[in-house]
Structure 1
Amino acid sequence: MKLNSLRSHLKALRPRQWTKNLVVFAAPLFAFEISTKSLFGGLLAFCLFCAASSSFYLLNDIFDVKSDRQHPVKCKRPIASGAVAIPTAIAMAAILLITALAIGWWNSTGLGLAILCYALLQVAYNLRLKHTVILDVIAISSGFILRAFAGAAATDIVLSSWFLLCTAMLALFLGIEKRKAELRLSELRGGKSRSVLHRYSLPLLSRMESVVTNGTIITYALWSSGPLVRGASTAWMMLTLPFVLYGVFRYQLLSDPQEIARRNNESESGGQTERPEEVLLGDKPLLLTVMAWVATTFSILFLKRYGYIS
Structure 2
Amino acid sequence: MFSFLGGYRVRIMQRLAALVEAMRPYHWVKNVVVFAAPLFALALGLGSLLRVGWAFVAFSITASAFYLINDARDIEEDRKHPVKRHRPIAAGLVPIPLALGTATVLLGAGLVGSYVVAPWLALTIGAYAFIQAGYNLGLKEQPIIDIMVIAGGFVLRALGGAAAAGVPPSGWFILCIGLLAFFLGIEKRKAELREVGEEEETRLVLQEYSLSWLRRMESVVTASALMAYALWTLEGADTEWMLVTLPFVAYAIFRYQYLSERGKGETPTEALTHDTGMVLSSLLWGISALAILLLVR
Q: One fold, TM greater than 0.5?
A: yes
Deviation of 1:76 (Å): 3.2
| 2:290 paired residue among 274, 298, 304 | 298
| Distance (Å, rounded) in 2 between the aligned partners of 1:203 and 1:80 | 31
Task: Quote the residue 1:132 is aligned against.
Answer: 142
- Name the residue aligned to 1:217: 226
Is contact 2:176-2:228 (8 Å) kept?
A: yes
User: Any residues of structure 2 matched to 1:131-280 within 5 Å, and which?
Assistant: 131-187=141-197, 191-225=200-234, 229=235, 231-256=236-261, 260=262, 271-280=263-272
Given residue 245 of structure 1, which amino acid in structure 2 is its aligned partner? A
How far has the Cα of 1:72 moved from its partner? 5.3
How many residues are paired up? 287
Could you tell me which residue of structure 2 aligns to residue 51 of structure 1?
A: 61
How far off is 1:65 after superposition? 2.9
1:294 Cα offset (Å): 1.1
The answer as to whether partners of 1:32 and 1:233 remain within 8 angstroms in 2 is no
Say what the alpha-carbon RMSD is for the aligned residues.
1.9
Give me the whole-angstrom Cα distance separating, in 1, the residues matched to 2:145 and 2:81. 27
Report what 1:263 is aligned to: none
1:70 to partner: Cα distance: 5.6
List per-residue Cα deviations over 1:275-295 (Å, max 9, x = no partner): 112111221110111011111
Which has the larger displacement, 74-83 or 196-205?
Answer: 74-83
User: Does the 8 Å CA contact 2:172/2:232 hold for their aligned counterparts?
Assistant: yes
Which AA in structure 1 matches 2:245? T
Matched, 1:25 2:35: yes
Q: Distance in 1 between matches of 2:120 and 2:46?
A: 20
Using the size of structure 1 for normalisation, the TM-score is: 0.86
How far residue 128 of structure 1 moved from its aligned partner, in angstroms, is 1.6
CA distance in 2, matches of 1:67, 1:200: 17
Q: Which runs of 5+ in 1 are unaligned?
A: 261-270, 306-310
Q: Contact 1:30 / 1:163 at 8 angstroms: preserved in 2?
A: no
Q: Distance in 1 between matches of 2:89 and 2:143?
A: 29
Distance 1:203 1:139 in 2: 22
Find the residue that maps to 1:274 and give its secondary structure. coil
Matched residues, percent identical?
47
Q: Is the 8 A contact 1:133 1:196 kept in 2?
A: yes
The worse-fitting range, judged by mean Cα deviation, of 43-52 and 128-137 is 128-137
Cα pair 1:183 1:192 within 8 Å, conserved? no
Preserved CA contact (<8 Å) 2:82 2:196: no
- 1:76-125 CA-partner distances (Å, limit 9, x unpaired): 32223343333322221111001101111222221111111111111111
Distance, in Å, in 2 between the alignment partners of 1:204 and 1:250 is: 20
- Find runs of 4+ consecutive structure 1 residues off by over 6 angstroms: none
Q: For 1:34, which of 36, 44, 47 is the aligned residue?
A: 44
- Secondary structure at the residue paired with 2:238? coil
CA distance in 2, matches of 1:202, 1:114: 33
Residue identity in the other structure for 2:284? A
Give the Å deviation of 1:166. Answer: 0.6
Partners of 2:82 and 2:193 in 1: CA distance:
19
Residues 262-306 of structure 1, C-alpha deviation per residue, up to 9 Å, x if partnerless?
xxxxxxxxx12111121112211101110111111222233234x
